[in-house]
Amino acid sequence: MFDTIIIGGGASGLASAVMLKKISADLKVAVVEQFDRVGKKISVTGNGRCNISNTNIKKSNYHSNDLNKAFEILKDFDLQKTAEFFSSIGVELAFEGNKAYPRSFQASSVVDALRFAATNLKVDIIAGTTVQKVTKSNNSFILKTNNNTLTAKTVIVATGGLAGGSKLGSNGDGYKFLKSFGHKIIEEKPVIVQVKTENTLTKILKGIKVNAKVSVINSNKTLATDSGEVLFCDYGLSGPPILQLSRFAKKGTEISLDIFSDIEFNNLVDLIMKRKQIFSSLPLTEFFAGLIHKKLGQAILKDADISLNNNADALTKTDCINIAATLKNFRFKVLGNTGFVNAQATSGGADLNDFDDNLMSKKTAGLFATGEVLDVDGDCGGYNLQWAWSSAYRVANAVSCYIQE
C-alpha cells in the first residue's frame, strides 16, 4: 500500500511528488501516468519554452468561484518560493518582461528536472498506466487501472483539465473521479484560445499580424481590453491579446481592433487627408503603403464601403472620416472559439468550496486535488503553471501532516 498515489504525472502531480518527498522522505509515493512518459503537456508549454511563472501575480489574474481560497494558496507559494524550489532541482529562472522561464528556455528541461528529482527521491513513477476508477473502503483508496489495482492511504487527483485535448492527456478523468465522491464540477470552458469570427475578411488577411488595442464589446459596453499583436486566421483571430481576452469573447459579442491606438481620431483623419494629397494619382489599392500591411489596408477600405477601383483623389472628407473610424474600430462578430483542443487552460472544474484550505476533499478524508482539475484558471503569462506549483505545495504539506496524524 502506498502512502500517497498521485493520479497524473503533469505539472502539479510531479511537483507535489517531489515536494512531498522533500518534506517526508520516508513516505511511499507513486505517480501514475497514462502516457509512457511524464510531463507531456509541460514540454509544449510556452511554445516549448515553458512560461513557468510571472513576476506580477495579482488576484485579478485568476478566475475561480472561490478566489480568496485560491489566492491564499498562491500567496503562500509565490514566485520566490517557486524559484527556490526549481533552483533546488537544478532549474534556474530567467525573465522576459514579467514572464519567468527556465534559464535554458527549454520546457523539456523542466520535465527532465522534475523527473530526475522524483526518481532521485525514490518516487515510484508508474507510467503507461491509466487510472479508471477510484473508490475508498476501510480507510484506504483502491485505484483500478488498465493494468492492475493499486491501494493508498491518500490520493491526489492531478489529472489536469480539458485544455489541449486528449493528445496532451486532458480527457477529464479527474472530474469523473471527483464526481464519484460527490464533488460538484463547475461547467468547464476553454480559455486562452483563438476566437472564431464571422467577418470573412480574416480569411483574406490570413497570416498577417498587426499591433492593436483589442476590446471585447457586448451591446456597446466594453467588457475587457488588452493590447498586442493580433494574428488574422482563416477562422478568425489569434495572437496574445486575443487569447488573453478569449474568456470574454462569447458568441454574440464583438471584437474591436484599434490599429492606431497611439493616434487620436481627429489626428488620424488629418493623416488620411494628407495621404490623399500624397497618393492622389495612385489607385486606392496603394493608399496604405508605408502605413499598414497593403492587404490590411484593402480590407479596411472594403469594411469602410469604399471602392478600391478609384484613385486616392476621389476620396471625400466623409470617406477619410470613415477610414479613420474603421482603423480605430475594426469590428468582428464573435461566433465562438476553436475549442478545448486549441485552448491553453480550462475555466471551471472541481468546485473549491468542496475542499478545505489544504485542498483536501470535504466529502472524503484523504482525497486531495491540485492544478487545473480544480476550478482555478489564470491569465496567459505563466499564471496557470504557477497555480500548479502553488497548489502542489499546499497539498504536499497537507498530505504529509494527514499521514503523520
Ligand X SMILES: Cc1cc2nc3c(=O)[nH]c(=O)nc-3n(C[C@H](O)[C@H](O)[C@H](O)COP(=O)(O)OP(=O)(O)OC[C@H]3O[C@@H](n4cnc5c(N)ncnc54)[C@H](O)[C@@H]3O)c2cc1C
Q: Are 70 and 372 in contact (CB under 8 A)?
A: no
Q: Is 242 in the site for ligand X (CB under 6 A)?
A: no
Q: Is 9 in the site for ligand X (CB under 6 A)?
A: yes
Burial class of residue 87, CB neighbours in 10 A (0-12, 13-18, 19+): exposed
Do strands 29-32 and 124-126 pair parallel, antiparallel, or not at all (unpaired)? Answer: parallel
CA angle 106/51/230 to nearest 5° reads 110
Supply the minimum distance, in Å, between the C-beta of residue 54 and ligand X.
8
Q: How far is CA 194 from CA 169, 231, 340, in A?
A: 20, 10, 10
Q: Is 134 in the site for ligand X (CB under 6 A)?
A: no
Supply the minimum distance, in Å, between the C-beta of residue 372 and ligand X.
4
Q: How far is CA 192 from CA 122, 166, 210, 238, in A?
A: 36, 17, 19, 10
Do strands 367-369 and 330-337 pair parallel, antiparallel, or not at all (unpaired)? Answer: unpaired
Nearest residue to ligand X by CB is 10
Q: Is 35 in the site for ligand X (CB under 6 A)?
A: yes
Supply the minimum distance, in Å, between the C-beta of residue 87 and ligand X.
18
Distance CA 362, CA 257 (A): 46
Nearer of residues 188 and 258 to ligand X, judged by Cβ: 188
Q: Which segment (274-282, 283-291, 379-387, 397-405) binds ligand X by CB under 6 A?
A: 379-387
Q: Is 79 in the site for ligand X (CB under 6 A)?
A: no
Supply φ then ψ for residue 81, to 5 degrees: -65, -35
All three cell numbers of 371: 492544478
CA-based radius of gyration for the chain: 25
Distance CA 298, CA 282 (A): 14
Among 111, 131, 360, 398, binds ligand X (CB under 6 A): 131
Q: Is 7 in the site for ligand X (CB under 6 A)?
A: yes
Q: Is 298 in the site for ligand X (CB under 6 A)?
A: no
Q: Is 11 in the site for ligand X (CB under 6 A)?
A: yes
Nearer of residues 41 and 275 to ligand X, judged by Cβ: 41
Q: Is 158 in the site for ligand X (CB under 6 A)?
A: yes
Nearer of residues 12 and 253 to ligand X, judged by Cβ: 12
Nearer of residues 260 and 393 to ligand X, judged by Cβ: 393
Q: If we measure between CA atoms, which residue out of 372, 376, 374 comes closest to residue 360?
A: 374
Helices (H) and strands (E) in the chain, counts: 12, 20
Q: Is 236 in the site for ligand X (CB under 6 A)?
A: no
Q: Is 163 in the site for ligand X (CB under 6 A)?
A: yes
Helices (DSSP H) in 155-223: which residue ranges? 173-180, 201-204
Supply the minimum distance, in Å, between the C-beta of residue 173 and ligand X.
4
Supply the minimum distance, in Å, between the C-beta of residue 114 and ligand X.
11
Number of residues that bind ligand X (CB under 6 A): 40
Q: Which of residues 199-228 bind ligand X (CB under 6 A)?
A: none
Residue 79 DSSP SS3: helix
Q: Is 239 in the site for ligand X (CB under 6 A)?
A: no
Q: Is 190 in the site for ligand X (CB under 6 A)?
A: no
Q: Is 188 in the site for ligand X (CB under 6 A)?
A: no
Residues making contact with ligand X (CB under 6 A): 7-13, 32-35, 40-42, 44-46, 50-51, 130-131, 158-160, 163-164, 168-170, 173, 344-345, 371-373, 382-385, 388
